[in-house]
Amino acid sequence: MKKSSFVQTVLNSPYIIWSAIFVIVPLLMVIYYAFTNESGDFSLNNIIEIKDYASTFLLSVGYGAVATFICLILAYPFAYFLSHSGASFQRMSIMLVMLPMWMSFLIRTYSWMTILGDSGLINRFLGLFSIGPAAMLNTPQAVILGMVYNFLPYMILPLYTVISKMDGSLIEAAQDLGCGKLQTLKKVVLPLSVPGIASGVTMVFVPSVSTFYITQKLGGGQITLIGDVIEGQFQTAYNYNLGAALSLVLMVMILICLGVLGYFTDDKDDGGVLM
């Protein structure tokens, strides 16, 4: 047993070292800067100053929630249809879903500027019918579109994985008991897919709340989310202490949201069938 434990420790050591260097150490640095001033002395001024950005935090959560909801609405029927398709079609579709992720996040976002701009592809097409140009860039809708486009694959993949692994006999049993398609979806498929929904919501909501490049390019600087404020503190104002404090509060808020989500997707409900 001791030999096995030693071998397991050795095998886990690279992961432990990686976590310590790239997770624990940066987190400790954020905490240190959040509770100190420019002189390195302990201070709560940074935490107190955060109240001035309360509306920005709420706006960020709102944008993140809307983008996550849209991703869920779009991804769920697509994942359900894909999981019931042929194997060759599934492989091709998954490749197409992942294809944009092989390109740079910056390039993907920047490309939408050429699509939504006054002289972009959409307005050029509308111009053929003497319509426009429509103001699509530098709007809240453009920011939401950028979030949905960039993070939609993170919602599709976990949903597809969960739905494709469902036991078909449970669906057949529900139908044998008199459930129609809508009842089967509501009472069997949806409860069984809760783990995938929770995973997808987490993977979309977290980057949506903390994003900053999307708002800068597609929002034209007219929409300021908490990610933009944090980026500005580090890159422009060089106020690392306030930037760290904002990052710390954002992290706590995200952990609270994940905790609430985890409460409603407790293990006792995973895979439950609400007949």
pLDDT band at residue 170 using 50, 70 and 90 as cut-offs: confident
pLDDT digits (tens, 9 = 90+) for 218-271: 998 889 999 999 999 999 999 999 999 999 999 998 888 778 777 766 654 444
pLDDT at 267: 53
pLDDT band at residue 174 using 50, 70 and 90 as cut-offs: confident
Q: Quick one: angle between helices 226-235 and 240-264, nearest 10?
A: 150
Mean pLDDT score across all residues of the chain:
87
pLDDT digits (tens, 9 = 90+) for 107-119: 899 899 989 988 8
Lowest mean pLDDT among 132-136, 157-161, 237-241: 132-136
pLDDT at 261: 76
Strand partners, 42: 36
Q: Measuring CA to CA, which residue among 208, 200, 201, 198 is closest to residue 60?
A: 208
Q: Which residue has the higher pLDDT, 125 or 266?
A: 125
pLDDT at 12: 74
pLDDT digits (tens, 9 = 90+) for 71-109: 999 999 999 999 989 999 999 999 999 988 888 888 899
pLDDT digits (tens, 9 = 90+) for 2-61: 556 777 777 778 888 888 888 889 999 999 999 999 898 999 999 999 999 999 999 999
CA distance 52 to 27: 24
CA distance 168 to 192: 11
**Burial per residue of 204-231, b for 16 or more beta-carbon CB atoms within 10 angstroms, e otherwise:** bbbbbbbbbbbbbbbbeeebbbbbbbbb
pTM: 0.86
Q: Which residues, including other chains, have CB under 8 Å from residue 82's CB and lie 6 or more apart? A: 89, 90, 93, 94, 160, 164
pLDDT at 31: 94
Asked if residues 225 and 217 have their Cβ atoms less than 8 Å apart, the reply is: no
120-126: long-range pairs with CB below 8 Å, 24+: none
pLDDT at 97: 92
The SS3 of residue 137 is coil
